């Protein structure tokens, strides 16, 4: 994947509905990219990485051949999605029920007699 | 303290003394502090004298010391209490006095005496000499010197001291070596991980890499490189899907779980289509969707080609591959100079995507690679069509070494392309000869001309050429021109290979005719059907029944055929030009048609042979161009002319799957095998066809056999009110 594609994906990710913050830290806990304030970044980096290692340990203890690929923590206010890796960790905080304009076409109500798509081109 | 006045002398003295003692402030006072637990003794006891004496001999010493003697190998009694240890010396002084009667004293006295006598003798000798010489004793002494003493003239004391080296302390302290604190936990799974990683590495060195999850390479560490690495990109991609799923939670739940309850109460088994997502891409705005295809191996991947059907307005083309898991953004996008008109995933190698373009070229993309370049692209040298390519289909020949696909174009050629090592090789399979119909059905003659690079592969092509024109054996079919000059080739619009007999394929032309051809015999059409009155837009074989196919056309009709009969079995008249028709993968009697008025029609012949089960307007202002069913999900994908692909969920009435009947067990016999799904479906469709047209059930001997009774007026579509006879 080219670097530009990665950048593009990052930008797109930020523009999705409800995404509050994106954070990338390397394996030492040093933040590489962050859209949060410095204190928040530090807090997230520290606590999420320890959560990750505990989760990974738990998964591995249960079945040694298994491994942790993703972690999703749903809280009352938002959802934190963590992609841990040996070299880095990707954290995205999203609140999918935030009241703001959606970037995808509005969904039709699932009543009988579904309406047609709006043709907005 | 009384302050007495000085009075008398004596008294004065006394008082002065007393005052002196009293008034000296520095004399420390002695204060006696008695500890609490001190023993208190009586005065008699206090006055008692306690004698203490010093003795040389230890009074506590025992007198019966026994010691083991190694010499005698026995315990020996040592009298006197142990020797030196038991004697304590309190004071020792070495004296220098000798007793005068002792030996030493006597020898000392004798030595002193001899020294005295010696001295006297010498003196007498000296005096005698002095007397002889007439000098004084002192002078003589001076002359002779002191023989026994020191030389007072040239005696010098010389002392020397060696050079004392200068002592210096020198030290060096080195900087401590760099230490790095390292900590790790070692548990069973970590050890397993290491072994596993090693094993994987060894295994991957043997085989070439596949679609494994990318791992960070060493040069990608650190800062920005980590962010831009493939591993991070992969995680980002997955996270984006998660984010989108969260954002469109309701849509995904509907996709999975929504079943329209009201379908149970609808009369006649009508159904609805629930709109879910709309796939679109910024790069494909204002382009029309020209083809939709689902990947055979990964049913959530959908490839969409964008181009333009408008002759006057042709632009660039885009092929986008979407995944149902991420409806917001396409997974892969390929751009090309001319509009993409058709595409197909290869069933044998699902990552290969063949695309046909408006300028007559074909391209093959490998979807696994992320780049925009095609794997193969045809150009003038390798041969290309001279008109837009309207359809591509892959050949699933297990014997062939290289993958092959076939394309059809309005220049009248059906060409096969071989993906050889570094280029595409084109071969014309069939040239669609233009035929004019007289009456009824019959055979048509098609000459395989020398057009294109290389001769057709089949033996029957050969020198047929013009002679075949005269050899038209069929009754009533007149070739447009004789003596083999190719006047014109029919423009092929669409084609499809029979899934049960891979050599057999159907071609739909711009003129509205349908031709049945065979790869094994490319010289002639096997059969020609009077299909439609306008261009045939799609022809699709049934995935279950080997004889049934559907066609749709711009003449507002959808026709159901049995390839043995020259006339359509059933005709469905829709209100406007039908863009595409697609069979459902789950039932042999369900198909969908999409029309230019933005409506989608779903038919279920098992339920109603004449009317649709669902008609629904999908888009407001655009025309619907193509439709495809998803292989595993209850989704219908419909592409329109405004560049969107709409995904619709089929309501339960439209998804009716007939149960496999449980065969009854007769007494005394073993339970027979239940019929397979294929058999059930085929039987169902047969029953339907039978009801529509009696001839549909007539058995035919060979595949190329002609129908028995030609030219029956009117396709008896039962009580069909919508039947239209061409």
| B246/A94 Cβ within 8 A | yes
pLDDT tens-digit map of B572-630:
888 889 989 999 988 888 899 999 998 999 988 888 888 888 888 888 888 899 999 98
Mean pLDDT of B363-375: 85
* Measured distance CA(B24)–CA(B697) in Å, rounded: 149
Q: With 50 as the cut, is the pLDDT of residue B720 above it?
A: no
- List for chain B the helix, strand, coil content (%; round to 5): 20, 25, 55
Reported as a pLDDT band with limits 50, 70 and 90, residue B657 is confident
Which of B227, B249, B644 is facing A6, going by the closest CB pair? B227
Query: Which chain A residues are Cβ-neighbours of B230 within 8 angstroms?
Result: 1
* Measured distance CA(B293)–CA(B628) in Å, rounded: 7
| A85/B231 Cβ within 8 A | yes
The maximal CA–CA distance of chain A, rounded, in angstroms, is 55
pLDDT tens-digit map of B290-349:
999 999 888 889 999 998 888 887 888 899 999 888 888 888 889 888 889 999 998 888
pLDDT of residue B90: 77
B276 contacts chain A (CB < 8 A): yes
Tell me phi and psi for residue B560, to 5 degrees: -110, 130
Reported as a pLDDT band with limits 50, 70 and 90, residue B23 is low
| B620/A118 Cβ within 8 A | yes
Q: With 80 as the cut, is the pLDDT of residue B466 above it?
A: no
pLDDT of residue B637: 92
Residues 538 through 567 of chain B touching chain A, CB cutoff 8 Å: none
Q: In 3D, which of A98, A107, A3, A46 has the Cα closest to residue B223?
A: A3
| B329/A33 Cβ within 8 A | no
B259 contacts chain A (CB < 8 A): no
Which of B216, B617, B642 is facing A121, going by the closest CB pair? B642
The fold of A3-113 is Beta-Lactamase (3.30.450)
Reported as a pLDDT band with limits 50, 70 and 90, residue B264 is confident
* 3-class secondary structure, B144: helix
B121 vs A81, B116, B134, B138, B142, CA distance in Å?
Answer: 127, 9, 20, 16, 18
Is the separation of the CB atoms in B548 and B561 below 8 Å? yes
Query: Which chain B residues are Cβ-neighbours of A79 within 8 angstroms?
Result: 246
Q: Best interface-test mutation with B: which of A114, A115, A120 has the largest number of B CBs within 10 A?
A: A114
Mean pLDDT of B522-532: 83
B69 contacts chain A (CB < 8 A): no
pLDDT of residue B212: 53
| B254/A107 Cβ within 8 A | yes
| B274/A108 Cβ within 8 A | yes
B327 contacts chain A (CB < 8 A): yes
* Measured distance CA(B352)–CA(B371) in Å, rounded: 14
Q: With 70 as the cut, is the pLDDT of residue B438 above it?
A: no
| A88/B231 Cβ within 8 A | yes
* Measured distance CA(B409)–CA(B26) in Å, rounded: 132
Report the 10 Å Cβ neighbour count for A104. Answer: 16
pLDDT of residue B281: 86
| B621/A119 Cβ within 8 A | yes
Query: Which chain B residues are Cβ-neighbours of A19 within 8 angstroms?
Result: 243
Query: Which chain B residues are Cβ-neighbours of A113 within 8 angstroms?
Result: 272
Mean pLDDT score across all residues of chain B: 77
Query: Which chain A residues are Cβ-neighbours of B273 within 8 angstroms?
Result: 114
Is the separation of the CB atoms in B432 and B446 below 8 Å? yes
CA of B672 vs chain A CAs: smallest distance (Å): 43
* Measured distance CA(B81)–CA(B84) in Å, rounded: 9
Query: Which chain A residues are Cβ-neighbours of B226 within 8 angstroms?
Result: 24, 26, 32, 87-88
List of domains in chain B: 268-434+488-654 (2.130.10.10)
B330 contacts chain A (CB < 8 A): no
Query: Running DSSP on this structure, what letter comes out for residue A75?
Result: -
Which of B243, B277, B617 is facing A16, going by the closest CB pair? B243
CA of B230 vs chain A CAs: smallest distance (Å): 5
Q: What is the ipTM of this complex?
A: 0.76
pLDDT tens-digit map of A62-90:
988 888 889 999 999 889 999 988 888 89
Residues 572 through 631 of chain B touching chain A, CB cutoff 8 Å: 598, 616-622
* Measured distance CA(B469)–CA(B349) in Å, rounded: 40
What percentage of chain B carries pLDDT values higher than 70? Answer: 78
* Measured distance CA(B318)–CA(B313) in Å, rounded: 15
Give the contacts of B262 (CB within 8 A, at least 6 positions apart): A112
* Measured distance CA(B524)–CA(B132) in Å, rounded: 180
Query: Which chain B residues are Cβ-neighbours of A1 within 8 angstroms?
Result: 230, 233-234, 370
More confident position, B6 or B353: B353
Residue B523 burial (10 A CB sphere; 0-12, 13-18, 19+): buried
Q: Which residues of B216-251 are buried (b: 16+ CB within 10 A; e: fewer)?
A: beeebeeeebbbbbbbbbbbbbbbbbbbbbbbbeeb
Q: Which residues pair with B590 in a beta bridge?
A: B604
B244 contacts chain A (CB < 8 A): yes
Please give the residue of chain B at the shortest CA–CA distance from A79.
B246
Tell me phi and psi for residue B145, to 5 degrees: 75, 175
B219 contacts chain A (CB < 8 A): no
B272 contacts chain A (CB < 8 A): yes
* Measured distance CA(B344)–CA(B339) in Å, rounded: 15
Q: With 60 as the cut, is the pLDDT of residue B141 above it?
A: yes
Tell me phi and psi for residue B123, to 5 degrees: -60, -45
Give the contacts of B549 (CB within 8 A, at least 6 positions apart): B496, B506, B539, B540, B541, B542, B560, B561, B563
pLDDT of residue B150: 64
| A121/B243 Cβ within 8 A | no
Instruction: List the helix and strand counts (H, then E) for chain B.
Output: 10, 32
B221 contacts chain A (CB < 8 A): yes
Mean pLDDT of B412-419: 86
Angle between helix B230-247 and helix B249-257 axes, rounded to 10 deg: 80
Please give the residue of chain A at the shortest CA–CA distance from B223.
A32
Mean pLDDT of B395-423: 83
The sign of the torsion formed by the CA atoms of B253, B255, B258, B262 equals: positive
* Measured distance CA(B39)–CA(B37) in Å, rounded: 6
Mean pLDDT of B496-525: 86
* Measured distance CA(B584)–CA(B606) in Å, rounded: 13
CA of B235 vs chain A CAs: smallest distance (Å): 6
Reported as a pLDDT band with limits 50, 70 and 90, residue B72 is confident
Tell me phi and psi for residue B636, to 5 degrees: -115, 125
* 3-class secondary structure, B85: helix
* Measured distance CA(A72)–CA(A84) in Å, rounded: 11
| B189/A60 Cβ within 8 A | yes
Tell me phi and psi for residue A35, to 5 degrees: -110, 15
pLDDT of residue B216: 55
Is the separation of the CB atoms in B714 and B723 below 8 Å? yes
Region of poorest pLDDT, from B5-14, B120-129, B245-254, B363-372: B5-14
Region of poorest pLDDT, from A23-27, B12-16, B133-137, B332-336: B12-16
The sign of the torsion formed by the CA atoms of B7, B8, B9, B13 equals: negative
| A86/B237 Cβ within 8 A | no
B373 contacts chain A (CB < 8 A): no
B528 vs B272, B374, B442, B532, B707, CA distance in Å?
Answer: 37, 37, 6, 12, 12
Give the contacts of A87 (CB within 8 A, at least 6 positions apart): A26, A27, B216, B220, B221, B226, B229, B231
pLDDT tens-digit map of B618-651:
888 888 999 999 888 888 999 988 888 999 988 8
Q: What is the helix (H) or strand (E) element at residue B583, kind and residue range?
A: strand B578-583
Report the 3 state secondary structure along B525-578. Answer: CCEEECCCCCCEEEEEECCCCCCEEEEEECCCEEEEEECCCCCCCEEEECCCCE
Reported as a pLDDT band with limits 50, 70 and 90, residue B85 is low
Reported as a pLDDT band with limits 50, 70 and 90, residue B236 is confident
Please give the residue of chain B at the shortest CA–CA distance from A4.
B228
Show the CA angle centred on residue B247, arms to residues B372 and B273, nearest 5°.
85
Q: Which residues pair with B277 in a beta bridge?
A: none
Residue spans of beta strands (DSSP E) within B338-497? 340-345, 352-357, 362-366, 376-377, 389-395, 404-409, 413-419, 424-431, 435-436, 478-479, 492-497
* Measured distance CA(A40)–CA(B100) in Å, rounded: 109
Residue B218 half-sphere exposure toward CB, CA atoms < 13 A: 0
Report the 10 Å Cβ neighbour count for B169. Answer: 4
Strands, sheet with B570-573, edge to edge from the N-terminal-most edge strand: B536-541, B548-553, B557-562, B570-573
Q: Is B575 left (phi over 0), alpha (psi -120 to 50) or beta?
A: alpha
Region of poorest pLDDT, from A98-102, B58-62, B563-567: A98-102
Which of A1, A70, A86 is facing B238, going by the closest CB pair? A70
Look at the block and give the residue holding tokens 């609808």: B266
Q: Is B478 left (phi over 0), alpha (psi -120 to 50) or beta?
A: beta
B369 contacts chain A (CB < 8 A): no
Report residue B221 as tokens: 């560490």
Report residue B660 as tokens: 């496999």
Is the separation of the CB atoms in B624 and B313 below 8 Å? no
Please give the residue of chain A at the shortest CA–CA distance from B285.
A121
Query: Which chain B residues are Cβ-neighbours of A14 within 8 angstroms?
Result: none
Show the CA angle centred on residue A107, arms to residues B270 and B635, nearest 5°.
50
Q: Best interface-test mutation with A: which of B232, B233, B254 has the largest number of A CBs within 10 A?
A: B232
Q: Best interface-test mutation with A: which of B180, B189, B221 has the largest number of A CBs within 10 A?
A: B189
| B622/A90 Cβ within 8 A | no
Query: In B228-268, which ranges are continuous DSSP H helix?
Result: 230-247, 249-257
* 3-class secondary structure, B239: helix
A97 vs B256, B326, B328, CA distance in Å?
Answer: 20, 18, 17
Which of B247, B262, B616 is facing A16, going by the closest CB pair? B247
- Report DSSP letters for B114-152, one per residue: HHHHHHHHHHHHHHHHHHHHT--HHHHHHHH--TTS--S
Residue B466 burial (10 A CB sphere; 0-12, 13-18, 19+): middle
């Amino acid at each position: 994947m080219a670097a530009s594609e990665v950048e593009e994906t990052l930008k797109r990710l930020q523009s999705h509905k409800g995404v509050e913050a994106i954070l990338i830290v390397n394996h030492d806990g040093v933040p590489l990219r962050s859209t949060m304030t410095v204190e928040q970044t530090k807090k997230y980096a520290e606590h999420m990485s320890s959560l990750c290692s505990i989760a990974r340990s738990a998964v591995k203890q249960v079945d040694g051949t298994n491994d942790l690929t993703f972690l999703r923590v749903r809280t009352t206010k938002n959802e934190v999605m963590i992609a841990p890796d040996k070299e880095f960790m990707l954290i995205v905080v999203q609140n999918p029920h935030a009241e703001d304009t959606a970037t995808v076409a509005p969904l039709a109500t699932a009543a009988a007699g579904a309406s047609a798509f709006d043709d907005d081109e | 303290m009384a302050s007495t006045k000085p009075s008398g002398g004596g008294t004065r003295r006394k008082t002065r003394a007393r005052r002196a003692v009293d008034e000296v402030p520095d004399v420390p006072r002695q204060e006696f502090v008695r500890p609490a637990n001190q023993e208190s003794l009586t005065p008699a006891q206090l006055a008692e004298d306690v004698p203490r004496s010093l003795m040389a001999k230890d009074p506590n010493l025992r007198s019966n010391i026994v010691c083991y003697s190694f010499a005698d190998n026995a315990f020996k009694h040592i009298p006197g209490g142990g020797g030196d240890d038991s004697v304590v010396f309190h004071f020792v002084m070495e004296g220098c006095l000798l007793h005068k009667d002792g030996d030493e004293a006597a020898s000392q006295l004798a030595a002193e005496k001899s020294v005295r006598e010696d001295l006297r003798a010498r003196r007498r000798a000296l005096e005698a000499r002095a007397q002889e010489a007439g000098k004084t004793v002192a002078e003589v002494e001076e002359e002779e010197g002191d023989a026994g003493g020191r030389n007072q003239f040239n005696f010098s004391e010389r002392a020397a001291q060696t050079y004392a080296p200068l002592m210096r302390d020198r030290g060096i302290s080195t900087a401590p070596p760099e230490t790095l604190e390292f900590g790790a936990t070692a548990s069973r799974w970590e050890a397993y991980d290491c072994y596993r990683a090693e094993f994987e590495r060894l295994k991957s060195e043997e085989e070439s890499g596949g679609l494994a999850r990318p791992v960070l390479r060493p040069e990608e560490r650190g800062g920005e490189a980590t962010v831009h690495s493939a591993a991070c990109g992969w995680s980002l991609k997955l996270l984006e899907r998660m984010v989108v799923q969260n954002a469109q939670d309701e849509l995904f739940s509907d996709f999975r779980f929504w079943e329209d309850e009201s379908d149970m109460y609808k009369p006649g088994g009508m159904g609805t289509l629930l709109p879910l997502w709309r796939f679109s891409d910024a790069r494909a705005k204002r382009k029309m969707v020209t083809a939709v295809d689902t990947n055979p191996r990964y049913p959530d991947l959908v490839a969409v080609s964008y181009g333009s059907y408008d002759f006057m307005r042709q632009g660039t083309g885009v092929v986008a591959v979407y995944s149902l898991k991420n409806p917001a953004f396409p997974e892969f996008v390929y751009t090309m100079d001319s509009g993409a008109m058709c595409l197909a995933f290869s069933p044998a190698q699902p990552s290969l995507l063949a695309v046909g373009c408006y300028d007559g070229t074909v391209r093959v993309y490998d979807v696994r690679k992320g780049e925009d370049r095609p794997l193969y692209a045809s150009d003038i040298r390798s041969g290309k069509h001279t008109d837009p390519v309207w359809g591509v289909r892959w050949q699933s020949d297990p014997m062939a070494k290289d993958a092959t696909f076939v394309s059809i174009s309005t220049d009248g050629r059906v060409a096969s392309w071989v993906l050889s090592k570094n280029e595409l090789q084109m071969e014309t399979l069939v040239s669609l000869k233009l035929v004019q119909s007289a009456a009824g059905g019959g055979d048509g003659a098609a000459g395989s001309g020398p057009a294109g690079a290389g001769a057709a592969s089949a033996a029957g092509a050969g020198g047929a050429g013009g002679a075949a024109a005269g050899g038209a054996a069929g009754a009533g079919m007149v070739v447009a021109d004789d003596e083999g000059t190719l006047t014109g080739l029919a423009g092929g619009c669409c084609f499809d290979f029979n899934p049960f007999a891979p050599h057999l394929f159907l071609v739909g032309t711009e003129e509205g005719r349908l031709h049945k051809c065979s790869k094994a015999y490319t010289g002639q059409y096997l059969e020609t059907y009077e299909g439609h009155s306008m261009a045939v837009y799609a022809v699709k074989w049934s995935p279950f029944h080997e004889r049934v196919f559907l066609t749709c056309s711009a003449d507002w009709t959808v026709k159901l055929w049995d390839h043995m009969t020259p006339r359509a079995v059933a005709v469905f008249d829709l209100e406007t030009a039908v863009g595409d028709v697609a069979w459902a993968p789950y039932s042999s009697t369900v198909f969908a048609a999409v029309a230019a008025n933005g409506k989608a029609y779903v038919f279920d012949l098992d339920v109603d042979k004449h009317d649709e089960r669902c008609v629904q307007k999908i888009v407001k202002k655009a025309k619907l161009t193509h439709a495809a069913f998803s292989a595993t999900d209850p989704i219908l994908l419909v592409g329109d002319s405004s560049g969107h692909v709409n995904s619709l969920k089929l309501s339960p009435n439209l998804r009716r799957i007939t149960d496999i009947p449980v065969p009854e067990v007769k007494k005394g016999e073993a339970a027979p095998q239940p019929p397979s799904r294929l058999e059930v479906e085929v039987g169902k469709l047969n029953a339907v066809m039978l009801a529509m047209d009696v001839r549909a059930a007539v058995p035919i001997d060979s595949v190329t056999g002609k129908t028995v009774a030609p030219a029956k007026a009117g396709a008896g579509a039962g009580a069909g009110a919508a039947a239209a006879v061409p």
